Structure 1
């Protein structure tokens, strides 16, 4: 729904427990005991209709009898009474409830046929916008305010990690594990069924929560993919966000029309969605625990190079092997660092990473070696491994290292091998906030999680170049699809698929379809031998399985023989198949080309996805595929290619030149564009797509369509909204003809030039401070926007001095960032300093306000410094109400309609 009223969930002033009890073992008794023992400072009101006292405190028989309106209600009653309680609470003024009750999927006896208690509960909450966590959840903990509104067996320590899980069992396990390691949390949330408050709402809330430094999710399923992706992308930009996704099996794999449909199982798609959002996925509960330990203790490193410090060669080698297996980077120590280590280590140390300081190492040797590694330029983090010896107590070593660990500017991970003999060393490090692991392999895995997060975060900051693909022939594609639908043909072979691909600029091999032998011979003579012959049948999706492909046919005789043999094989193997004729193609003479697959399919949760991998007839067996959510640009396409094994071959091998990776990336971008613009297209296979140094060529393709309900938006099925080209406008101005359009990632370089053209005074007016350059984070934030939640219109014109590579320069920008509800928006407008006073600011603001009105935004607000008199005047003429605060800052507000309650 939104983040509205979630403050009553996470920071209530008072709490009522409906169904509080003294009955041992009951949920109501456990919740009341946890809540009463948590140290919550506000009023706590037990509600029990049978007993006057609960837990030694006066109880009330009903919500109406309470001495005040609870800001948060915790409902522990049987499911049948929940809808009525929610209505009563909402009418009284309560705006948040945690529903622990299970069984709300049961039929509602008072509702229409098919209605459930869950639906009745949501209907009861809707008029009051009362937010519901659950039902069927363990509850909610906010340790910083002493709120334990749960039936978990233990409490949580205060901290700065947020944990959200769909599994109640995992909530209790993590609580127990974290308490033993003194790891604290800003909140612990059991999502339960997520009927109202869901992952998207919580990500939005926690991303803006100043008390949360990192977010951890345990997800079993996701609903409302676009909302989830918008919230996840925003959260991941703000702070580290980690996910463990249960259910890694290919539950969506099926006997599909296309290879792509069979290959793109749901887990691949979840992985792509998590990666695209900039979050980090961990594979197991154990890895999630490691991630909790890491995020609670250290910040992501600046790089990927790990130095290993150990008192035993074996554990050091084990750590190095684990690092290599994980694709990690071992630090290479330079001559200067080696010389300094020589001065403090025994002569027999191996002078390499791992740094083996020998088993008899006293505490001082540990301290000196660690200090030198942390001071050297070669490593970004250090893993310290200690195997206990009888020479020096492990606790003595830990105590000597703690001052150094507390001041370290780089992450230090500790692995204290053993049991009771290293228990005190472990305790000292844990209490000092140092991440501790049981084995070298676990420590390396924890470090690689930090590295992977850093990579994902860096990917969010990458700006694609200004190159833009030519516009597709949308009319030709639309005509082909309409003709297929009109004829009732939902599955298309080579001719239909290649017609769409050609319309979108994908290079295809010329193909002719013919009905019979005579037509095949005539087509082959027109094309020129040698040719390829393929069977044409809607009932044979994979031609090679029935011998329906013949290659390198050099003349009429060879073609005639192939026709006879092909028809005989098909009749024998698929006697019921409808034969519609053949296709004849020129042979593609590209012996150095790799066979790839590019495809498109529609995931039931995240909508269209683009698949890439190794192609050919054994595509399923190669298991070398990756998927990505459209829309794509060249950077995202390159990242998709890089996640496959075949990517190494595409770089060139055994004297073969590298393939044209730009041409390959462009195919992926074009297929992503097809997913966005052709809503009827539900499956597409290009297999094989040949790729070599000369470019790419689609040899074989097929597609499947599904009718779209009348009135449905073409982009409705997409988890990420693509660039809204329909919002582009041409405008006449005092500066000549301009294009007013949404900003896009490819505008990054033009935006840098635009910022550099602003005077320091104008930068101060816009940023409320001074800065000389945009940081990569700011540039990404300004140009890589989420069109579902924000808009930035730029005014552009052809370059006057040839400074911009794409032929257009940015003259001004007006942007609005909407809240997750889409009710309120915050605006800002900036015009290039040398163009002020020419009406450009008004032009941009009028376009922005029109957009907000069309979106149904209720209120648009902004702020301007006292000296920004031009903005004051413009806002007044555009219908903004102006209010000058005590600080002199002018608040500007334009109301389009009354906000939702």
Structure 2
């Protein structure tokens, strides 16, 4: 699969126009220009200044219209009052990319409003605008610094933040680890129309980036953001840094999203530092660690337990005793004992704790252990004030946290390789009329029966666990479970994987059938938009029960809940005046969330995970007689799809997957089965026996292009089904915003080549493999309203 192309205007600009360049000391225009001129940037810089013909020895122009040469990027450091005129001039001159850098903490609410109005007026297909904080952008490897912060050292971490202070904080962490930055941008989240999701899509795959840190933006559309994160983490690990206030429910939701999108959420700066250690190092997973320390360390048992690490404390006669090797061990003795432990069969990792002491002594011990760590296959983690490096930590708790994050990542990857079990054939066929009747009459037992939920019992005493199903003001429908001080969340559309996760969390394997029915009923409420109340489920000695909280009982607190969420988000402004905070709560997406009509005016938040396409199943008549039922692929279809592939002829499998295989490897099957219907899709056709006879799918290549694949059973070839399956994915891909669809097709696969050509694809010879053809279709030109052979 080809890598996503990098936008040249940001990643390798050859000509930058700096609007607002200045020589005036300490002005933003002077600071940004000095940063650019002081960096190793080799491209051309053209200043725009109304009063001076030269700035810093460079020829300056009074207006964009005076510049004859084309430019990759317009960098604006002017006051917001000038944005409207600037954006208008950019559009007139055919300059398509603007990054506006400003110290927003010093700007008044009128200037915020002026910026918001100009952005809303001019941002679009012909002019892309990003609004940045004064930290701006940096590409250290290219020597580009267009911001007010000092040059970051070049390295392997991409940073996308929403505050200058966060950019500076992370840079200092990386310096302490002797690491650097591959690319950096600090967006003003409350103003920028080009969101962090948009920038993640632009980042794409880059061989210099080993991990990305994204400062979480609670103002951003969550479906779009987490879809972009999921696409990004297929090639690069990502840490989501949450600095806004997060309650127990939201934390559980973010951890549930991590299971879908494969990222590591962290909620404080010490956790971020530990997560960076884990992601950038070659640290191996380890649940058991030995400890050697020149200070008593029994207190570490509690943080180790919290990190799910089992500490082993070596003990021999006098030294070491329970991991304590005495207060003044020589560096040579420390190394000798550490070398012994690294060879121990039960040592998965070794934590060496060096207590604060005379600087030279502490540095000598840290240095000799660092050299030992380089020679050992078993991880040696060193805690010392002299810590410098990826496996050196300033506090021992941080080393334990790094192990925890490494273990968490490994466990998550293992879970992501699991496919959902097939759905039970005994699920209730829910009748909408029965649901509406019971709900309108507030007959809660009848409503539970109609939805297939556990029996209704109001306020049971002393439940061992409870589940809450409600519509979160930001993430949409969510089911959160609470038990013994722990919590998890699952998100619709619910699958059998969610059922298994809940059963494991509740330690109630006997409840799998009841949980399966429960999730089936909740999926119905979400799909048909009938969720207008909280539903509580309690687990006690009598099993699960349901309780309902009518909408009238909870309408009053709805607005404070939404307002609280936005007030938390206001931290990203970090303004010195109250006016800017008021701006956030009365502008843009905030207005849409809070509304001006009270609680009843709040919009219904969409589910954070995209639902399956609507209007299915449908029946398609086949040429020559017979029909099939077509519907979107769901995770529970994994086993059926595997059987479908096994039953194909060897030649059919080769033409589809371009490799000799009898079935999909389990990790590939799991990845193909966990679809994000925001940016990919698949359809299956089933015959009268319910067996899959055709699959069509497309997946993301870049933010503008997707690739497709179609596979048919021998029994339906020549029936016209392939064309119908093709048009289904074309229409869905176009609806998702893709500009083109492509595929590599074997030249020997004449049937697929004919289908592609008949559908409108352009065919060209493959450039890297003479046996392949490249098929490509522009989706913007695809006909709308095509008539399918659907039978209602």
TM bucket (normalised to shorter chain) is: 0.7 to 0.9
2:493 to 631, 644, 647: 631
Q: Is the 8 A contact 2:155 2:179 kept in 1?
A: yes
CA RMSD of aligned residues (A): 4.0
The match for 2:414 among 450, 458, 475 is: 458
Is 1:164 equivalent to 2:45 in the alignment?
no
Cα displacement string for residues 497-534 of structure 1 (whole angstroms, at most 9, x for unaligned residues): 4333322211325x9xxxxxxxxxxxxxxxxxxxxxxx
CA 1:765–1:232: 2 relative to 1, 3 Å: same
CA distance in structure 2 between the aligned counterparts of 1:759 and 1:400, rounded to whole angstroms: 61
Which residue is equivalent to 1:704? 551
In the alignment, does 2:192 pair up with 1:200?
Answer: no
1:728 to 617, 627, 638: 617
User: Where does residue 564 of structure 2 map in the other structure?
Assistant: none
> Which aligned pairs between 1:473-484 and structure 2 lie closer than 5 A?
473-477=430-434, 479-480=436-437, 484=440
- 1:403–1:898 CA distance, 2 compared to 1 (3 A): farther
Does the CA contact (< 8 Å) of 1:507 and 1:697 recur in 2? yes
> Is the CA contact 1:304–1:329 (under 8 Å) kept in the aligned structure 2?
no
Q: What is the number of residues matched between the two proteins?
A: 726
Distance 2:774 2:671 in 1: 24
* 2:534 aligned to which of 684, 687, 692: 684
**Which residue pairs with 2:383 in the alignment?**
415
Of structures 1 and 2, the one with the larger relative CO (CA 8 A, separation 6+) is 2
Contact 1:676–1:722 (8 Å) recurs in 2: no
Cα distance, 1:465 vs structure 2:
0.9
Aligned pairs for 1:272-287 (under 5 A) are 272-274=256-258, 276-287=260-271
User: How far, CA to CA, are the matches of 1:368 and 1:762 in structure 2?
Assistant: 61
1:118 counterpart residue number: 116
C-alpha offsets along residues 460-486 of structure 1, whole Å, 9 cap, x if unaligned? 3332211236254232355328x83xx
Structure 2 equivalent of residue 866 of structure 1: 747
Q: Which moved more, 1:832-841 or 1:141-150?
A: 832-841
Supply the distance in 2 between the matched residues of 1:104 and 1:898 (Cα, whole angstroms).
45
CA 75–475 in structure 1, closer or farther in 2 if over 3 Å, else same: same
C-alpha displacement of 1:121? 2.5
Partner of 1:11: 12
Q: Which residue of 2 aligns with 1:247?
A: 244
Match among 655, 678, 696 for residue 765 of structure 1: 655
Rounded to whole Å, the distance in 2 between the matches of 1:820 and 1:602 is: 32
Task: Summarize deviations over 1:710-768 as a string: whole Å, max 9, x none.
Answer: xxxx9972221233362322334479543322211112222333344455554443334
Partner of 2:519: 669
Residue of structure 2 equivalent to 1:441:
397
The separation in 2 between residues aligned to 1:884 and 1:463, in whole angstroms, is 36
**SS of residue matched to 1:506:** coil
Q: Cα gap change, 1:816/1:735 in structure 2, threshold over 3 Å: closer, same or farther? A: farther
Q: Conserved in 1, the CA contact under 8 Å of 2:119 and 2:193?
A: no
**Aligned mate of 1:810, from 669, 677, 692:** 692
User: What's the CA shift for 1:162?
Assistant: 1.2
- The structure-2 alpha-carbon separation of the partners of 1:100 and 1:814, relative to structure 1 and needing over 3 Å to count, comes to same
| Distance in structure 2 (CA, Å) of the matches to 1:375 and 1:874 | 62
| Displacement after TM superposition at 1:440 (Å) | 1.2
Per-residue CA deviation, residues 423-474 of structure 1 (Å, 9 max, x unaligned), is 3xx44xx2xxx32111211211222122223333333333221123625423
What does residue range 450-599 of structure 1 map to in structure 2 within 5 Å?
450-468=406-424, 470-477=427-434, 479-480=436-437, 484=440, 493=442, 495=443, 497-509=444-456, 594=463, 596-599=465-468
Q: 1:169-193 deviations in whole A, cap 9, x for unaligned?
A: 2212322343344211111221113
Does 732-741 or 597-606 show the bigger shift? 732-741
Would the aligned equivalents of 1:244 and 1:288 in 2 still touch at CA under 8 Å? yes
Q: Does the aligned pair in 2 maintain the 1:274–1:280 contact within 8 Å?
A: yes
Question: Per the alignment, do residues 667 and 407 of structure 1 end up closer, same or farther by CA in structure 2, a change over 3 Å counting?
Answer: farther
Q: CA deviation at 1:391?
A: 14
The yes-or-no answer on 1:150 pairing with 2:125 is: no
CA distance in 2, matches of 1:817, 1:400: 50
- How do 1:211-290 residues align onto structure 2 when only pairs under 5 Å count? 211-248=208-245, 250=247, 269-270=253-254, 272-274=256-258, 276-290=260-274
- 1:326 match: 307
CA contact under 8 A between 2:493 and 2:523: conserved in structure 1? Answer: yes
* Residue of structure 1 equivalent to 2:480: 611
For residues 777-830 of structure 1, the C-alpha deviation after alignment (integer angstroms, 9 at most, x for no partner) is 32222111011211111233466xxxxxxxx54333211125676x54321122
* Residue aligning to 1:877: 758
> What is the distance in 1 between the residues matched to 2:361 and 2:209?
38
Please state how far the C-alpha of 1:406 moved relative to its aligned partner.
3.7
Alignment match, 1:550: none
Deviation at 1:602, TM superposition (A): 1.9
2:454 touches 2:544 (CA, 8 Å); kept in 1?
A: yes
Q: Which runs of 5+ in 1 are unaligned?
A: 109-113, 251-263, 333-337, 339-344, 485-491, 512-542, 545-587, 615-621, 652-657, 800-807
* Alignment partners' CA distance in 2, 1:834 and 1:844: 15
Residues of 1 paired with 2:317 and 2:626: CA distance? 77
CA shift for structure 1 position 139 = 0.6
Q: How far 1:47 moved relative to its partner?
A: 1.9
By how many angstroms is 1:843 displaced? 4.7
Structure showing greater radius of gyration is 1
